[in-house]
Amino acid sequence: MFYENNDNEEWGAIHLREAYQAPVNCVVPIYNLGGSYTLGNIKQINSIMKKIDKVEFELQEEHNFNWLKQFGTVFCVFDQQDSGNISFGVEKEGQKYFVKYAGAKPVDFTGNPDDAIERLKRAIPVYQSLEHPYLIKLVDYISIEKGYAIIFQWFEGECLHAHWLFGGAAKYTNTESPFYRFKNLKIEKRLKVIDAIFSFHTYVESQKYVAVDFYDGSILYDFKNHEMKICDIDFYRKAPSVNEIGEEFWGSKRTKSPEEYKIGAPIDSITNVYNIGAVVFGLIGGEMDRSFSKWEADQELYKVAAKAVEANRDKRYSTIEEFYNAWNSALNQ
């Protein structure tokens, strides 16, 4: 299932992050009295509780969700996002779907619901244009009286950056953490995931798109069947593109390139080479410690990955395809 990243320690703006996690305890309700109050300099927004089927969730104000009934029974909800979206796991006639909705006011949302609706609408052609075996599949989209929803196929995987369950050091040390479990898989299985990342992003490049906001939270892994999907490509965009935001450009500090901190800088294939290289270091290396001592593969692969994350753009591979070819050459030596 999907979950939106609300990791404000790493994110400088509104993020539309979905991730999958087994539906055990999908909601941890916080019961408030309604209205808002100020504690110090922080405005606390209280909430109301709603219930659909057997699932409870929070909103800042009342909203009509009767339209959800057409998609089946709600078995899971994600209501703690700052993007303006609220997401539901639904099941109908044995089929599960993920429904992502904009138009309500989730408790952590401080923006305008109309803006969230427009962002969600803009994501649709991105998923349509970049449909791929390693990408979660868009099924449908629908306009509702006071909102907009997009529907995806369900994927029984887990997000490698499950910060809502394993925040901080727990991501790396808790034996139940998806990232910990992934890092303890055999290197061959992890290399297959890296190959899938390359496969999808060379396709993205061939379609004249650039990846924006790609990091380990975009990777969903099914530990039972050893399959993966990439999720949340909402901010991928047509090339050429530039950083129009500055330091708070979309992305994680663990994978952002230097140009993703500079307003007006190009966001292109060279940028994506860095992003993918940084993710690779997270999956089979020391993440932000990019020393060879933390690397789990051979030295030839290390050299390829190290070139991809050069601070100087001119020293990186010029395209994702070039990076992928160099990676495969080193892998086959």
pLDDT of residue 45: 56
Q: What is the Cα–Cα distance from 179 to 304, expressed in whole angstroms? A: 23
pLDDT of residue 226: 98
pLDDT of residue 107: 84
Q: In which band, very low, low, confident or very high, does the pLDDT at 108 lie, cut at 50, 70 and 90?
A: confident
pLDDT, average across residues 31-45: 36
Q: Is the pLDDT of residue 304 over 90?
A: yes
What are 228-284's pLDDT values in tens digits? 999 989 899 999 999 999 999 999 999 999 999 999 999 999 999 999 999 999 999
Q: In which band, very low, low, confident or very high, does the pLDDT at 128 lie, cut at 50, 70 and 90?
A: very high
Average pLDDT over the chain, rounded to an integer:
87
Neighbouring-strand partners of residue 236: none
264 φψ region: left (φ > 0), alpha (ψ -120 to 50), beta (else): left
Q: What is the Cα–Cα distance from 321 to 313, expressed in whole angstroms? A: 16
Of 107 and 313, more confident: 313
What are 166-220's pLDDT values in tens digits? 989 999 999 999 999 999 999 999 999 999 999 999 999 999 999 999 999 999 9
pLDDT, average across residues 50-69: 92
Q: Is the pLDDT of residue 330 over 70?
A: yes
Q: Is the pLDDT of residue 227 over 90?
A: yes
The residue behind tokens 């994927």 is 155
pLDDT of residue 333: 86
pLDDT, average across residues 1-18: 36
pLDDT of residue 47: 82
List of residues 6+ apart from 50 with CB closer than 8 A: 56, 57, 58, 59, 62, 63, 65
Bond prior to 240 in cis (omega within 30° of 0) = yes
Lowest mean pLDDT among 45-54, 55-64, 172-181, 301-310: 45-54
**β strands within 270-309, DSSP E:** none
pLDDT of residue 17: 36
